[in-house]
Structure 1
């Protein structure tokens, strides 16, 4: 297939593009490469897929030197004219939209960015999918949409209408916008509610990255809600395997959908929502303990109260995705943390010549 992947300078987008390229798909990747976190890491991801940093200019297609089936274009989703030109030129079979403004706490102080990127940018993707007859749109939602829900594990078949951050609200809005386009214009759409994705090449604003960096530098880590937190940490390889299965299987109408008892996860339109997590939450202190074992460093912990926009626990019910697409995450937290720390030490040359990873606009780890 010819697939557009947005956000390929980002964590999940980089890994997804590599997996699709390895199996022989033609991939066009786009990313605006904003400075929410260290752009050097974003360019390094692109370099790892054969995209030369020196060749990157806005709206200019750059061919990979290592993957003849990969083209990268620096592009902002808000640039509707260039986005339409991209769709018109390449005639995609499917689109996976992973480009978004991430971060729960950042949305408390920079709300406008989320409306621009996550709402207006996503609208432009939907419009292009509509007008260029895209066979399937898969897109990133988030476990954050569950908000005030306390029923565990979280299931897509329950209503999730009480977000506690603008980031979560923007992701819920994406799902509703997608349903509208599936209903009105027959665009097959699948929303993926990601649960705390981690692994090599991960985001510097996520807990594992921040904890590892601080511990290796001998600095204390901030532990929120006094450590009384649980997260459904999900390793990147399992996430990507699930995304690929989704891309390959376009959403179809649920012929048994009942308007009297509507299922939020499906519709009479070609629309669906999946949780994509591990289904096995880990306490934050146990997660820190695993990092301590892998680094042989005892963390200096500063215990703090719950932050605005956070929730105490997440846990994914992945039976819907498993039942439809045989999704079975396999990677343990022990293995995943080990692989991340090995990557981190190699990438930042720990023990050789340490290179300080600059982190822009990041104050606290994002767990959601």
Structure 2
């Protein structure tokens, strides 16, 4: 099980990464990778991925085929964070391998998969590939590639489990059961500040998905989602002009949280309040994960406090002591998909 508040399980099919933006500084996955690299049982997967003497990944990425089938053996339905220690859409991860990841997700509709990337442009490229060359000489699309990968996974299984997988693969007419996009796969991108929002959200919105979400963590700057546009123009015949659709109208869920860890940067309370209020106005479910290492306007405004120019301040008290109350309230909202609202009861 996972300690991450908005998921139940993590599924790490790749390890290693490359710094993408300011949100990667102080990445928890770097510290954890360094620790796991010194343990004999995990050294093979995590060793040699972090620059010696530095706290950032060196760009090496490994795919782990032996991890692919783990979800096939989980009996209880759960929310699954895909690649908490890496990025599925890192340029070093082959699309053929990502096909297999999506195939496993397709074969396990009882689970809900949360795919989060800092590279939504590559995710959009992957999902929107219409025609792909095949060994047999004709062309295929991404959906067919995923179905083919799923078929081979079933073929490689024996006995009762294979029978259950076949039931998830084909309907009574022998057709694939899957719909595209997969109804149990949520796609998200990390947005730590306005620059990241402007750059990444438009790419996310090009991705066909049952749920699109944002992870505004670590939130290191103000984010105005109303200032980002989706690229969609909506025509109203009753009016003389078309309307540019704001990105927040196409987002299904927003997670927000401050940074934790030794070198954490404080999160201004106005930044997270603004996101909460934007989501409330737009009717978007909002999940406040944590304040992080700093608690705002707590204790005396002394020389040890981090001070902002507007008079707000914060003390470094640690993640546990800072808690996750925003104006005295927890925010644990989840999006609705397939007509069912996913809630936090399993946590």
TM over 0.5, shorter chain: no
Q: Normalized against structure 1, the TM-score is what?
A: 0.33
Q: Normalized against structure 2, the TM-score is what?
A: 0.34
Which has the higher relative contact order, 1 or 2, with Cα contacts under 8 A spaced 6 or more apart? 1
User: Which structure's residues are more often helix, by fraction?
Assistant: 1
